[in-house]
Amino acid sequence: MAKGYWVSVYPANSEPDRLTTYDKLAGPAVQAGGGRLLSRIPSRGGRVVAHEAGITQRVVLIEFDSFEQAVAAYESKAYQKALAALPDDVQRDFRIIDGVD
């Protein structure tokens, strides 16, 4: 079975500290839903080399055992509470995608 992934890009987040409350709620919600954080750039010493559009803002990649598990985690009460903590003006491009078998 193919894995499922959350891919989040924050193209216009000039103040990452504003996401602290969201991060505190989202982390446990993702783990409870079976998600594993694979990468969060830029932070924790992570590196990025940007090409084409040159976007280097925050990118988060989370892996789940299946696409269905990824969707269920997003729809969970715990994650919806985290979403409510996102500041209204934070721009985010979020996708749930199928992995390759």
The pLDDT tens digits for 90-101 are 888 999 999 998
CB 64 within 8 A of CB 3: yes
Task: Tell me what pLDDT residue 47 has.
Answer: 78
- DSSP 3-state assignment of 5? strand
Task: Tell me what pLDDT residue 40 has.
Answer: 82
Check residues 79 and 90 and name the one with the higher pLDDT: 79
Rounded to whole angstroms, how far apart are CA atoms 47 and 40?
A: 10
For the cut 70, the answer to whether the pLDDT of residue 83 exceeds it is yes
Query: Which architecture does CATH list for 4-98?
Result: 2-Layer Sandwich (3.30)
Domain range annotation of the chain: 4-98
Task: Tell me what pLDDT residue 91 has.
Answer: 86
